[in-house]
């Protein structure tokens, strides 16, 4: 079968022919229908050797939807052959209390594993088939189109998890800001609209991302420039915002967050843009601010995101491409030319 493999750090991945995996005890073979392309894939490709624990080579692709092709011995109790599924991509040790509760994203043994999940150190879904270590990593999707389901497993799930973490601060009359309206951010806007009464403001450097924010239901979209903090403050009548969800995580966006948060507000840093904040008392952060560094999401949250999408409350704006166009799509994602999510369809 064909698979997009990362073979050397600092080099582009290669579309190569590899053997189709055969499921062993407890494993499930999934025929991939679609695999989303995430900005984290670009961070992986650009990582200096030694900064990530992954062993090479492996197949990329951590947003995966498809159908069950074959069950290994004893892999019963989950989806049956032919059933359409999405893969819960954070794969932990499988035995700690977090993993046992479907919270593999916060596996207690993360520091000793040489992978973070499907397509992140383990063979992922940018291939015709993917071997899933256990049926508990699969969530049924019914007739949800694969190009929708795949991005929901990370872009959707991570956004949902980040919103869940700040939901307590987002009651009636509150304001939330989404910074970075790309693959994750445009879903965060929709999830905030669907699951909170909050007013949703969106910020991005790209005009087409602000247009996407408008289509996604943002109440107001503001370009990222030297006036953004003033514009956000004005939009809240000078009070400041209750929560900032930062999907860029760059130095200017973290600084913007500290300038616009209301005392007691919430800052969720989702993007891996490498920005740094100094936490100090007394310091520059407003009093009472709570900080979170959400990573991906739980299996139960994935079930909830899929349900939201099936109910029509969340729609992923996708650009669909064949697997062979992955290198070109990665190049366009790196240069900020993808609108919504690029999804490889097999």
**Nearest in space to 20 (alpha carbons), one of 6, 30, 33, 8:** 30
Distance separating alpha carbons of residues 290 and 325, to the nearest angstrom: 42
99, 37 Cβ separation under 8 angstroms = no
Does position 191 interact with ligand NAD (CB under 6 A)? The reply is no
Among 21, 26, 180, 240, binds ligand NAD (CB under 6 A): 180
165 binds, among Zn ion, ligand NAD, none (CB under 5 to 8 A by kind): none
Length of the chain: 346
Number of C-alpha atoms within 13 angstroms, CB side, residue 66?
Answer: 32
Residue 246, interface with ligand NAD (CB under 6 A)?
no
DSSP code for 283: S
What are residue 106's phi and psi, to 5 degrees? Answer: -120, 40
* Beta carbon of residue 74, minimum distance to ligand NAD (angstroms, whole number): 31
- Closest CB to ligand NAD belongs to which residue? 182
Among the listed residues 182, 257, 298, 346, the single contact to ligand NAD using CB under 6 A: 182
Phi, psi (5° rounding) for residue 273? Answer: -75, 0
Asked if 253 is part of the footprint of ligand NAD (rule: CB under 6 A), the reply reads yes
270 touches, from Zn ion, ligand NAD, none (C-beta below 5 to 8 Å by class): ligand NAD
Which 119-178 positions form the footprint of ligand NAD (CB under 6 A)? 154, 158
Expressed in angstroms, the distance from the first to the final Cα of the chain is 11
Question: Of 117-125, 232-240, 246-254, 283-291, which segment contacts ligand NAD by CB under 6 A?
Answer: 246-254
Query: Which of 132, 296, 304, 326 lies at the binding interface for ligand NAD (CB under 6 A)?
Result: 296
User: How far apart are alpha carbons 52 and 156 in whole angstroms?
Assistant: 24
Please say whether the dihedral angle defined by the alpha carbons of residues 285, 240, 185 and 138, taken in this order, is positive or negative.
positive
| Cβ-contact 247, 178 below 8 angstroms | yes
Residue 96's binding partner, choosing from Zn ion, ligand NAD, none, with beta-carbon cut-off 5 to 8 A by kind? Zn ion
Asked if residue 92 binds ligand NAD (CB under 6 A), the reply is no
Handedness of CA 70, 72, 73, 77 (dihedral sign): negative
Residue 92, binding choice from Zn ion, ligand NAD, none, Cβ under 5 to 8 Å by partner class: Zn ion
Identify what 206 binds: ligand NAD, Zn ion, none; CB under 5 to 8 Å per kind. ligand NAD
Q: Which is nearer to ligand NAD, 23 or 273 (CB)?
A: 273
How many Å apart are CA 257 and CA 16, to the nearest integer? 43
Letters for 194-213 (x = contact with ligand NAD by CB under 6 A, - = none) are ---------xxxx--x----
Q: Where do contacts with ligand NAD occur on this chain (CB under 6 A)?
A: 38-40, 43, 154, 158, 179-185, 203-206, 209, 224, 247-250, 252-253, 270-273, 294-296, 333, 336
């Amino acid at each position: 079968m064909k698979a997009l493999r990362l073979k050397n750090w600092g080099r582009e991945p290669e579309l190569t022919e590899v053997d189709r995996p055969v499921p062993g005890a407890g494993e499930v073979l999934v025929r991939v229908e679609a695999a989303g392309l995430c900005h984290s894939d670009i961070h992986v490709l650009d990582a200096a050797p030694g900064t990530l624990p992954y062993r090479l080579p492996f197949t990329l692709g951590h947003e995966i939807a498809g159908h069950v092709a074959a069950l290994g011995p004893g892999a019963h109790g989950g989806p049956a052959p032919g059933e359409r599924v999405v893969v819960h991509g954070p794969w932990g040790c499988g035995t700690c209390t977090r993993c046992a509760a479907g919270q593999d994203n916060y596996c207690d043994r993360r520091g000793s594993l040489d992978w973070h999940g499907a397509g992140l150190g383990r063979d992922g879904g940018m291939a015709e088939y993917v071997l899933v270590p256990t049926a508990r990593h699969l969530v049924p999707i019914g007739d949800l189109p694969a190009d929708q389901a795949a991005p929901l497993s990370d872009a959707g799930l991570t956004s949902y998890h980040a919103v869940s973490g700040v939901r307590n601060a987002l009651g009636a009359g509150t304001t939330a800001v989404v910074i970075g309206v790309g693959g994750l951010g445009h879903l965060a806007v929709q999830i905030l609209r669907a699951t909170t009464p909050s007013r949703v403001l969106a910020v991005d450097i790209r005009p087409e991302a602000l247009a996407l924010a408008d289509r996604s239901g943002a109440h107001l979209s503001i370009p990222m420039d030297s006036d953004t903090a003033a514009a956000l403050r004005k939009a809240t009548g000078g009070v400041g915002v209750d929560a900032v969800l930062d999907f860029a995580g760059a130095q200017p966006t973290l600084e913007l967050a500290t300038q616009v948060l209301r005392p007691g507000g919430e800052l969720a840093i989702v993007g891996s843009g490498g920005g740094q904040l100094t936490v100090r008392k007394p310091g520059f952060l407003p009093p009472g601010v709570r900080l979170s560094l959400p990573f991906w999401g739980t299996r139960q949250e994935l079930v909830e995101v899929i349900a939201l999408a099936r109910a029509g409350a969340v729609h992923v704006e996708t650009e669909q491409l064949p697997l062979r166009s992955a290198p070109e799509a990665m190049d366009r994602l790196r240069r900020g030319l993808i609108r919504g999510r690029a999804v490889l369809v097999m």
